[in-house]
Amino acid sequence: MLVAAIGHALPALLLFGCSRPDSSPRTDGSASGAAARSTAPPVRSAVAGVGAVPVDAGTPNPDRLVEIARRPLRSGWLALALDGAGGGHLLRIDPEGHRTEVPCEPLAGAWGLWLDDVDLDGHAEALVALRKPARYDPVVENRLHVYAFEAGRCVPLWRGTRLAGRFEDLAVDAATRGELLAWERAGGEHRVARYRWTGFGYAVVAVPWSGPGDPPARYRERFASLGGQRCAETSCAAP
C-alpha cells in the first residue's frame, strides 16, 4: 500500500453529471482491479446479468469489435472494445466467452476501463477514460466518466471534464473502494494523487509524490500491479 503524505485537498470539477434513478434495479456484481487479455470469442444475442439486452440492429456486431481492456465482473468480465471508427463499446462476457454489448451512450475516444464500487453500495460501477475535447474545455485531453448498470444498460453517474490535474494513468485498488490513483500533470509537474469519490465526482485526499518527469519506479510498479492503463499526450497504451 502507498504511504501517502496528505496533500493539499483540491475539489474535483463536477461538470456534466447525471444522477442515477433510484427506482431502477441494479444488475451488476462486485469490482476487481485485475486485467486480462483475450482473443475475440463467439457471440450470442443476450447474456444474463449486466448487458442482458440484445444488440440493436445497426450496432456493430460484437465479434467485429477490437477488445482493448477487460475486467472481472461477477462470473464473467466487462470489456472495452473499439469499432472501426474508434468509438468505444462496453461488452459483457460470460464464462463461456460469449460477448454481448451493454447499451450505453457513445464513448468516443475511449481508451481505459476500470471497475470500482465508488458509492460503497455493493455494486460495481465502470470507470471509462476517454481522450477528447469537452464542451467547456475544448482541447483534446483525458476525461473520466463513471457509469452504473441498471436493467442491463449503463447509466452515467458522472461525466468529468477533468480531475484536479490532467491525468495520464489511473489505477483502482479493490481493497480501497471509492478511491483511485492518478498519475497526472498539475502545476507544471507530474504527480501521483489519490482521489476519493465524493458522491458526485472526485476530490484529492493525498499527493504522495510530485516532481519533474515520471514517478519513481515504486509508483510505476504500483500502477502496473493494479491494472493501470497509460494514455500520455502522444500515445495510449492498452494493458
Which of residues 182 and 7 earns the better pLDDT score? 182
Q: Can you give the pTM of this predicted structure?
A: 0.74
Neighbours of 7 (CB within 10 A): 18
Model confidence at 176: pLDDT above 50:
yes
8 Å CB contact between 124 and 116: yes
Domain that holds residue 122: 62-230
Rounded to an integer, what distance in angstroms lies between the CA atom of residue 239 and that of residue 15? 28
The answer as to whether 203 is a domain residue is yes
Classify residue 184: in a domain, yes or no.
Answer: yes
Instruction: With respect to residue 10, please indicate whether it lies within any of the assigned structural domains.
Output: no
Examine the pLDDT at 216 and tell me if it is beyond 60: yes
Average pLDDT over residues 182-195: 95
Q: Rg of the Cα trace of the chain?
A: 17
Residue 13 lies in a domain: no
Bigger pLDDT: 176 vs 21: 176
Total tally of structural domains belonging to the chain: 1
- Is position 138 within any domain? yes
Q: Is residue 187 part of a domain?
A: yes
Q: Is the pLDDT of residue 155 over 50?
A: yes
Tell me, what's the pLDDT at 182?
Answer: 96
Task: Report if residue 56 sits inside a domain.
Answer: no
Which residue type does 83 have?
A: D
In a domain, 111, yes or no: yes
More confident residue, 168 or 51: 168
CA distances from 206 to 92, 123, 149 (A): 34, 25, 29
Per-residue pLDDT at 181 exceeds 90: yes
**Average pLDDT value for residue range 20-49:** 35
What's the pLDDT band for 229 if we cut at 50, 70, 90? Answer: confident
Region for residue 43 given its phi and psi (left: phi exceeds 0; alpha: psi -120 to 50; beta: otherwise): beta
Contact 188, 201 (CB under 8 A): no
State yes or no: pLDDT of 69 exceeds 90. Answer: yes
Residue 22 has pLDDT above 70, yes or no: no
Given a cut of 70, whether residue 120 has pLDDT beyond it is: yes
